[in-house]
Amino acid sequence: MAGHSKWANIQHRKGKQDGIRSKMFSKLAKEITVAAKMGDPDPDKNPRLRLAVKAAKAQSMPKDVIDRAIKKSQGGDAADYTEIRYEGYGAGGIAIIVEAMTDNLNRTASNVRSYFTKAGGNMGQTGSVSHGFDRLGEITYPLSVGDADKVMEAAIEAGADDVQTDEDGHFIYCAVEDLSAVSEALEATLGESTESKLIWKPQSLTEVDLETAQKLMKLVDLLEEDDDVQTVTHNFDVPEDVAAQL
């Protein structure tokens, strides 16, 4: 599997923090509401909702905001959202997957297409780039839980498929359908994880130069600023010397 990309982790932690935080909370709340509406409003009985609540807590979302999002799902005014995936290419032929949740497919498709065009990329057909990614469950632990050998042993025992450790933490990977079970098994030995979610993991990463990185960052920023977009995944990595110039 491709190595864990530190750049992918840190690239969007800077900027207008208040605006980013507000938008993040809005997207997390939407996922909680949809998950609760589709299944049981009790996280203990709804794996998707449990993951959504965990993701919200990992971003320090207040409990009352989480509870409000769950309560909203039970009311008649909860919007009907459609989940959709868009795929395309950014500058330099970099593969990008966009996951959205929308109440207006025409609006979202038009917006996403315009972002690709503005940043020198182009939309592709569904499946055009996702074959270069693995759909996996990812469970994250801080380095403080123990060394790589300890985490690897716990992960194998829990039914995980792979573990990668770097300066950002321990990243444990498993099959999509096993995420809930593996996460629970790991909690019994390592304690509560930092994050537990479904991801698109690139099978390989492509290093980019400064000009390409700037165009790609513009595209990722445009996409992430859209209220309908939930996640943006790509397969580019930025060398340290280029990152220093951004």
Blockwise average pLDDT, block size 10, the chain, 246 residues: 45 52 85 86 85 86 89 75 94 96 94 96 93 95 94 96 93 94 93 90 94 94 93 92 82
Please tell me the predicted confidence (pLDDT) of residue 27: 87
Q: What pLDDT, on a 0 to 100 scale, did the predictor assign at position 205? A: 93
- pLDDT for residue 77: 62
Whole-number pLDDT of residue 182: 94
For residue 99, the cross-strand partners are: 85, 231
Residue 66's H or E segment, with its range, is helix 63-73
Residue 96 and residue 110: Cα distance in Å, rounded? 17
* CATH number of the domain located at residue range(s) 85-131+205-243 in this protein: 3.30.70.980
Q: Please name the CATH architecture into which domain 6-73 falls.
A: Orthogonal Bundle (1.10)
* pLDDT of amino acid 17: 55
The domain spans of the chain are: 6-73, 85-131+205-243, 132-202
Candidates 238, 224, 172; CA nearest to 22 is 224
CATH fold label, 132-202? Alpha-Beta Plaits (3.30.70)
Length of the chain: 246
Calpha distance 203→211 (Å, rounded): 24
Q: Given this model, what pLDDT does residue 190 score?
A: 95
Question: CA 158, CA 153: separation in Å to the nearest integer?
Answer: 9
Give residue 228's pLDDT. 93
239, HSE (Cβ side, Cα atoms, 13 Å): 9
Identify the pLDDT of residue 48.
85
Question: What's the confidence (pLDDT) of residue 231?
Answer: 92
Indicate yes or no: pTM above 0.85: no
Which residues are bridge partners to 88 per DSSP? 96, 123
Q: Which of 168, 159, 236 is nearest to 204 (CA)?
A: 236
Q: Note whether 6-73 and 132-202 share their fold.
A: no
Contact 35, 49 (CB under 8 A): yes
